[in-house]
Amino acid sequence: MDCRWIERYLIEIIEGSVKTMDMSHNIEEHLRTCPKCANLVKRFRLAWDMLENPERIEGSSVFEDLLLEKIQETQKDSLLVEIRERLFRALRPAILTSGLIFALFFGVHLGNISKEKPEMSPDFALEAGFLEYSSGDLIILDDISRGSAADFLLNYRVNWKEESP
Amino acid sequence: MNEQKLIRKVAEGDQEAFRELVQTHRNMVINVCYSLLNNREQAEEAAQDVFLQIFKKSGEFKERSKLSTWIYRIAVNQAINTRRRNQRFKKKEFIRLESSDGLMSLKAPCADCPDSQLEAGKIKEAVQNALDSLPEKQRTVIILHKMEGLTSKEIAQILNISLSSAEARIHRAKINLKKKLSRLLSGL
């Protein structure tokens, strides 16, 4: 029996659950002759006792008052949340309707913009890529569908060009 | 009033029933939190949050398990969350220095003996350090098993794990704690 065995069976030694009588006897014998291991076992026993008998505390005298305060605060908060949710539920149809009306007006407005066919100079149209040369004549690409991205870009560039000094 | 009746009344919003529930389980909840957190103020605050949760969730209590098991579960989870939150914001060493009462959660068995007082203090520190260095799951089970005196079956129910998992976790925690403790105690 050497010191490693003591370290290995520390729990069994202090809990008195060493399996065989022989081993128990050997351990006792080793502890009698090895002060280092005896000290370790003594300290380990103290540590184990501390674990099994922890200090117990009691809540402060204001524990329940503070708890009730917390509960009231939470209830107040949850009441506010409930009011907010109910208000939102009540106003939801109105919000959705106004959103729909806004989207409708916005769509109509966009449609009106694209209806206005801009006057554009051949130079600008050429630069924008909406004119091309074909056998020496300028051809305007008329097949740009209204409301398409190309149409929007054309409008935007024409307007921008006209507005810029 | 029996447990089921009491919790049903709490779920209905009966304040008197809730007060009774708090009085019955107050010390148990505070001490579980104290064992897991090592700090009196934090333990009290966590215990209040536990009762707040009980108040809110009393309707969710399923009467398959014991009320105390359910309360234990909430307390353990709350304490673990508080500990995680604390660890996120403060360094471990800093916490140890700040919470001077942390080491006091372990009672010295022979505090009257003058020659062992110093050693008892060092042993307390070693126990605390060894516990803190364990992985969280092992730390929780060893505290519930050793400090709270719960059986593996009770721990399994509280942590919602199988009995064999609880037993294995306790065993691993014991082995690990023994290794760390013996290393720390040899160095004293």
ipTM comes to: 0.79
Mean pLDDT of the A129-143 span: 55
Nearest to A59 among B47, B105, B126 (CB): B47
Give domain status of residue A109, yes or no: no
Domain C-terminal end among B64, B81, B104: B104
- pLDDT confidence bin for B176, thresholds 50/70/90: very high
- The domain that contains B124 carries what CATH number? 1.10.10.10
pLDDT exceeds 70 at position B155: yes
The total number of structural domains that make up chain A: 3
Give domain status of residue A154, yes or no: yes
DSSP code at position A54: B
**pLDDT at position B100:** 46
The total number of structural domains that make up chain B: 2
Same domain, B44 and B99: yes
B14 vs chain A: nearest CA distance in angstroms?
A: 13
pLDDT exceeds 60 at position B181: yes
Domain residues for the domain of A130 are 114-163
pLDDT exceeds 60 at position A134: no
Domain C-terminal end among B80, B104, B128: B104
Same domain, B90 and B151: no
Same domain, A75 and A93: yes
**pLDDT at position A4:** 86
> A108 or A123: which carries more pLDDT confidence?
A108
Same domain, B171 and B93: no
As separate numbers, helices (DSSP H) first and strands (DSSP E) second, chain B gives 9, 0
8 Å CB contact of A63 and B188? no
Instruction: Encode pLDDT of A29-88 as tens digits.
Output: 898 999 999 999 999 999 999 999 998 998 888 888 888 888 888 888 878 888 888 899
Nearest to B27 among A36, A43, A58 (CB): A58
Mean pLDDT of the A118-128 span: 62
pLDDT exceeds 90 at position B151: yes
8 Å CB contact of B182 and A64? no
- Which residues of chain A are within 8 Å of residue B182 when distances are taken between CB atoms? 7, 10, 40, 44
Same domain, A34 and A65: no
Same domain, A67 and A44: no
The kind and range of the H/E element at B23 are: helix B15-37
- Which residues of chain B are within 8 Å of residue A60 when distances are taken between CB atoms? 44
pLDDT exceeds 70 at position A136: no
- pLDDT confidence bin for A27, thresholds 50/70/90: confident
**pLDDT at position B118:** 73
Q: Give the SS3 label for residue A134.
A: strand
Minimum CA–CA partner of B40 in chain A: A57
Same domain, B55 and B148: no
Mean residue pLDDT of chain B comes to: 85
> B107 or B79: which carries more pLDDT confidence?
B79
**pLDDT at position B103:** 46
Instruction: Encode pLDDT of A78-100 as tens digits.
Output: 788 888 888 999 999 999 999 99
Domain residues for the domain of B50 are 1-104
Same domain, A47 and A75: no
The highest-confidence range among B55-69, B75-89, B132-146, by mean pLDDT, is B132-146
- The domain that contains B58 carries what CATH number? 1.10.1740.10
Same domain, B151 and B92: no
8 Å CB contact of A46 and B110? yes
> B115 or B56: which carries more pLDDT confidence?
B56
Same domain, B177 and B86: no
pLDDT exceeds 80 at position A162: no
**Residues near B153 by Cβ (< 8 Å), separated by ≥ 6?**
B163, B166
Give domain status of residue A105, yes or no: no
**pLDDT at position B112:** 52
Rg (CA), chain B: 18
Same domain, B86 and B48: yes
**pLDDT at position A72:** 86
Same domain, B117 and B98: no
8 Å CB contact of B52 and A40? no
**pLDDT at position A106:** 92
Same domain, B12 and B78: yes
Give domain status of residue A103, yes or no: no
8 Å CB contact of A53 and B107? yes
- pLDDT confidence bin for A22, thresholds 50/70/90: confident
Same domain, B121 and B182: yes
pLDDT exceeds 90 at position B120: no
Give domain status of residue A106, yes or no: no
Give one DSSP letter per residue of B168-183, joined into a string.
Answer: HHHHHHHHHHHHHHHH
Mean pLDDT of the A147-154 span: 72
Domain C-terminal end among B62, B87, B104: B104
- Which residues of chain A are within 8 Å of residue B127 when distances are taken between CB atoms? 47, 50-51
Q: Tell me how far apart the alpha carbons of residues A86 and A88 are, in angstroms, rounded to a whole number.
A: 5
Phi, psi for residue A114 in degrees, rounded to 5: -75, -20
Same domain, A44 and A81: no
**pLDDT at position A163:** 61
**pLDDT at position A82:** 85
